[in-house]
């Protein structure tokens, strides 16, 4: 697995498009997020359909065609420097097949930021565009608009990425060791359900896999990990870093599942690295070489997330 292309870091005045490829957006949170970005001397704007609601499927922010059009228009606009998801939820899987990937590749690299359901897009950006992406707090997310730690780490990643090259775990090692590889991952359920599609990698061989999820019971986490094991998707993975498991049951019940399913890989596994659906979530890049040290509980990037 090779490093992907790193987009340029942002500078004051950068134009930022906020899109909603997944679930419906709360207007008050969106406005709060836009105000926060303006406070960073950025120039954010909401894409035309961000506040739409799908007429029959209330868990979607507008129709598939409109959500895809917003994302593609923003990405292909030469005046836009970054595309930021408004929230997660569900729906990104329905968008990836509607995008013109040749046109998006021709538009060149820029920052893409999203998490949770946008895992489907992170994989697609890696497979189709060969691009480093950022997995972190989203523009209309509660953590982004209310948590100073999440805000500060994201801001540093966007403007001064060399200052946040090491992420530290608050947990202990589920499996010992040290490993190097290219970062990839996201929401476990999206990776498991994306397997076999044209927009998801055929495996994590040689990579450092960053995993988290939300609202899945321990048996469902077991099911998704078992699916990845059975398909061979985890064959040859160099190491695993685990983020948050919000609303996935008591952690003392989930931890044995993670140890059971991942411990047999024979690679270092670090828990509680502080990314995902948690307060003060860190922003992590996918597509750069890093070192995972289970003894110190750290993930250290070889290079900054952005150029």
Question: What's the pLDDT band for 116 if we cut at 50, 70, 90?
Answer: very high
Catalytic residue among 123, 169, 199, 212, which? 212
Clarify whether 244 is annotated catalytic. no
Which one of the listed residues 122, 153, 199, 277 is annotated catalytic?
Answer: 277
- Among residues 88, 76, 70, 95, which one has the least CA distance to residue 18? 70
Token pair, residue 118, equals 């946008």
The average confidence (pLDDT) of the chain is: 97
pLDDT for 223-255, tens place per residue? 999 999 999 999 999 999 999 999 999 999 999
pLDDT at 176 over 90: yes
Structural domain spans, the chain: 15-161, 166-301
Please, are residues 240 and 267 in contact by the beta-carbon 8 Å criterion? Answer: yes
Is the CATH number 3.40.1260.10 carried by domain 166-301? no
DSSP 149: H
Active site residue 22: no
pLDDT (tens digit, 9 = 90+) per residue, 122-144?
A: 999 999 999 999 999 999 998 89
CB 236 within 8 A of CB 265: no
- Predicted model pTM: 0.97
The tokens for 240 are 């695993």
CATH number of 15-161: 3.40.50.10740
**Residue (of 173, 178, 241, 255) closest to 212 by Cα position:** 241
- Whether 171 has a pLDDT exceeding 90, the answer reads no
The residue-averaged pLDDT of 5-17 equals: 98
Annotated active-site residue 253? The verdict is no
Q: What is the pLDDT of residues 25-61, one digit of tens each?
A: 999 999 999 999 999 999 999 999 999 999 999 999 9
**Residue 6 in contact with residue 162, Cβ under 8 Å?**
no
pLDDT of residue 142: 86
In the chain, the percentage of residues whose pLDDT exceeds 70 is 100
Tell me the C-alpha to C-alpha distance, in Å, between residue 61 and each of 58, 134, 210.
Answer: 8, 22, 27
Domains 15-161 and 166-301 are alike in CATH topology: no
Q: What is the SS3 string spanning 7-54? A: CCCCCCCCEEEEECCCCCCCHHHHHHHHHHHHHCCCEEEECCCCCCCC
Catalytic annotation, pick one of 22, 116, 118, 169: 116
pLDDT of residue 219: 98
The proportion of the chain whose per-residue pLDDT surpasses 90, expressed as a percent, equals 96
Q: What is the mean pLDDT of residues 209-216?
A: 98
C-alpha 123/C-alpha 131 separation (Å) is: 10
Q: Which two tokens stand for residue 287?
A: 């597509």
């Amino acid at each position: 697995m090779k490093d992907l292309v790193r987009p340029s870091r942002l500078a004051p005045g950068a134009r930022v498009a906020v899109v909603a490829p997944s679930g419906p957006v709360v207007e008050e949170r969106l406005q709060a997020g836009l105000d926060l970005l303006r406070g960073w001397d950025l120039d954010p704007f909401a894409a035309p359909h961000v506040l739409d609601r799908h007429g029959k499927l209330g868990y979607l922010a507008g129709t598939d065609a409109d959500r895809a059009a917003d994302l593609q228009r923003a990405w292909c606009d030469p005046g836009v420097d970054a595309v930021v998801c408004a929230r997660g939820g569900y729906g990104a899987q329905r968008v990836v097949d509607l995008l013109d990937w040749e046109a998006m590749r021709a538009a060149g690299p820029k920052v893409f930021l999203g998490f949770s359901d946008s895992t489907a897009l992170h994989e697609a950006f890696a497979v189709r565009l060969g691009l480093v992406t950022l997995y972190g707090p989203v523009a209309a997310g509660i953590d982004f608009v209310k948590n100073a730690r999440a805000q500060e780490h994201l801001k540093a990643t966007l403007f001064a990425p060399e200052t946040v090259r090491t992420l530290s775990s608050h947990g202990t090692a589920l499996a010992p060791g040290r490993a190097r590889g290219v970062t990839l991952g996201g929401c476990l359920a999206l990776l498991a359900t994306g397997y076999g599609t044209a927009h998801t990698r055929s495996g994590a061989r040689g990579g450092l896999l960053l995993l988290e999820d939300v609202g899945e019971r321990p048996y469902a986490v077991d099911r998704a990990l078992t699916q990845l094991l059975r398909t061979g998707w985890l064959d040859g993975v160099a190491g695993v870093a685990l983020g948050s498991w919000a609303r996935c049951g008591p952690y003392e019940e989930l931890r044995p599942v993670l140890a059971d399913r991942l411990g047999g890989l024979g690679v270092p596994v670090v828990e509680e690295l502080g990314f995902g659906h948690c307060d003060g979530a860190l922003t992590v890049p996918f597509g750069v070489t890093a070192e995972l040290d289970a003894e110190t509980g750290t993930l250290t990037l070889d290079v900054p997330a952005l150029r």
